């Protein structure tokens, strides 16, 4: 829609993302978000009722990234390999930016909500990758792999790197070796 | 040695492990460890000067687990496949116990020390797996894989599961699909 209200909402989400990535979830209050966005208390609360709501909006947005919109690409009949390459590029880029990792914030957020919410988000990722790999196999572009196995490896190796890149310094070669592994499993 | 002093040290390490796994690193003080171990302040400090020292002793101990002592097994000329299977069993068992995961504590600990310390521990894991895989390839038991790539996948998929098993509920099948993937990569 692009109205002023939408733009402010987007701005809150973007600003908060950086704050949560840097500080985790627990340490951050609505007051911190007010300060960072320079919105009044009333202004902020007219968009979100809590840091939990803001964080959930961030998670939803992460799931809607263009490179991760496999469903739309598949509907257009795009090559599975092309869709995969775009996703791997995005993953590599994200893994190379440990400062943007939400791992700690997600961990802490989970301590504050019914776990069902996070399982829902996890399921989105699982379903997305499952459908892409099945699509690639059906088109003869991907090897006939055990889909569930590869999906688990992709999801958790990515999360492991996202988390550990905040603990130790990782080289771009490490990230590339991981995307290369995923590519080799799938592409004929 | 098995002296009383050693036993107390072991007891402190074991008791603290559970506390760090449950609460992370930052929230825990030497007073908490005193209470949990029922040692006097003087008694505890005669073994460790800080929670950081205790945590480092835990990390050292984790690296010395029998199933992970690849060097000794290789020196004895043990089959690479047997060494791998024992390691995978241990990994599966650990992944099935999210309550024992130190992921959050390691994350927080890193914020408190020179990062070199954690990189050292990470390097130990890398070297261990690299030497086992090279050993297996040299003996013709493992496929001629790209060693660095597989080592990265093993290390980070494991860490991803350890972390995420605290965020979402994971089934034993998920853990098995991951060890099965590692096995398939290596064993001819």
What's CA B166's distance to the chain center, in Å? 16
- Residue located via tokens 């802490």: A108
Q: Do A153 and B148 touch (CB under 8 A)?
A: no
Q: What is the mean pLDDT of chain A?
A: 92
**Most confident option among A101-115, B1-15, B25-39:** B25-39
Handedness of CA B129, B133, B134, B138 (dihedral sign): positive
Q: Do A150 and B181 touch (CB under 8 A)?
A: yes
Shortest Cα–Cα distance, B147 to chain A (Å): 10
Phi/psi of residue A65, each to 5°?
-55, 140
- Partners of A163 on chain B (C-beta within 8 Å) are 103, 107, 159-160, 163
Q: Do B167 and A110 touch (CB under 8 A)?
A: yes
The confidence band for B157, taking pLDDT boundaries of 50, 70 and 90, is: very high
- Round to whole Å and give the CA distance between B142 and A36: 54
Out of B119, B122, B159, whose CB is closest to A163?
B159
Predicted pLDDT of residue A115: 63
Better-scored residue on pLDDT, B53 or B111: B53
Q: Do B166 and A106 touch (CB under 8 A)?
A: no
Average pLDDT over residues B107-136: 87
Q: Do B156 and A177 touch (CB under 8 A)?
A: no
pTM: 0.90
The SS3 of residue A187 is strand
- Residue located via tokens 């908490």: B32
A59 interfacial to chain B (CB closer than 8 Å) = no
Cβ neighbors of A19 (< 8 A, separation 6 or more) are A28, A32, A33, A36
Average pLDDT over residues A11-26: 94
Out of A152, A157, A163, whose CB is closest to B174?
A152
The SS3 of residue A34 is helix
Average pLDDT over residues A130-145: 97
Predicted pLDDT of residue B1: 52
Predicted pLDDT of residue B127: 94
- Partners of A92 on chain B (C-beta within 8 Å) are none
Q: Is the pLDDT of residue A17 over 70?
A: yes
Predicted pLDDT of residue B2: 66
Read off the tokens for B118: 């954690």
Cα B69 to Cα B72, B78, B95, distances in angstroms: 6, 12, 19
- The contacts found for A71-75 with CB under 8 angstroms, 24 or more apart, are A71/A128, A71/A131, A74/A131, A74/A132, A74/A135
Average pLDDT over residues A145-155: 96
The confidence band for A182, taking pLDDT boundaries of 50, 70 and 90, is: very high
Considering only CA atoms, which of A89, A79, A90 is closest in space to residue A142?
A: A79
Domains along the sequence of chain A with CATH: 4-56 (1.10.10.60), 65-186 (1.10.357.10)
Predicted pLDDT of residue B115: 63
Predicted pLDDT of residue A148: 96
Say if CB B150 and CB A185 are below 8 A apart. Answer: no
Say if CB A99 and CB A38 are below 8 A apart. Answer: no
Residue of B nearest to A147 (CA): B177
Average pLDDT over residues B151-175: 91
- Round to whole Å and give the CA distance between A165 and B25: 18
Residue of A nearest to B163 (CA): A160
The SS3 of residue B170 is coil
Predicted pLDDT of residue A1: 52
Q: Is the pLDDT of residue B55 over 60?
A: yes
- Round to whole Å and give the CA distance between A138 and A77: 12
Q: Is B7 left (phi over 0), alpha (psi -120 to 50) or beta?
A: alpha
């Amino acid at each position: 829609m692009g109205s002023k209200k939408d733009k402010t909402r987007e701005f809150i989400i973007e600003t908060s993302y950086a704050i949560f990535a840097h500080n985790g979830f627990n340490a951050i209050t609505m007051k911190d978000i007010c300060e960072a966005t320079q919105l009044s208390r009333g202004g902020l609360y007219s968009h979100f009722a809590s840091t939990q709501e803001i964080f959930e909006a961030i998670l939803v947005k992460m799931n809607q990234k263009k490179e991760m919109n496999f469903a739309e690409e598949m509907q257009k009949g795009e090559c599975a390999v092309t869709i995969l390459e775009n996703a791997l590029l995005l993953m590599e880029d994200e893994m190379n930016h440990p400062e943007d990792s939400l791992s700690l914030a997600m961990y802490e957020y989970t301590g504050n909500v019914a776990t069902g919410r996070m399982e829902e988000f996890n399921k989105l990722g699982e379903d997305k990758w499952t459908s892409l790999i099945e699509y690639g196999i059906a088109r003869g572009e991907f090897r006939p792999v055990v889909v569930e196995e590869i999906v688990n490896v992709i999801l958790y190796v990515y999360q492991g790197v996202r988390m550990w890149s905040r603990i130790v310094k990782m080289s771009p070669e490490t990230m590339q070796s991981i995307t290369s592994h995923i590519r080799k499993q799938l592409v004929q």
